[in-house]
Amino acid sequence: KLSDKQFYRPTFRMHLTNKEILDKLLSYSEDLRHHYNIYQLLLFHFQNKEPDKFFGLIEDNLKLVHPLFQTVFKNLS
């Protein structure tokens, strides 16, 4: 869970929460948002010890992700 406490962020020149920063960064690229969501789902299934869902997600997204991720996914499967 991301903190909802605002801090001054010199990079953005305003007070923002961690969630607001994440939303702002993900708004710049649909590709980045897609990969972030896949990563979060993989992390969730890994932490909850759900190997079928974890590896199923990898298999379902193998051809849809960036080539660097494809290499990692192939090594995991």
Q: What is the pTM of this model?
A: 0.79
Terminal C-alpha separation, the chain: 28
Domain spans in the chain, listed from the N-terminal domain onward: 7-76
User: What is the residue-level pLDDT of the chain in tens, covering all 77 positions?
Assistant: 788 899 999 999 999 999 999 999 999 999 999 999 999 999 999 999 999 999 999 989 888 888 888 888 888 77
Q: What angle do CA 53, 25, 2 make, to 5 degrees?
A: 60
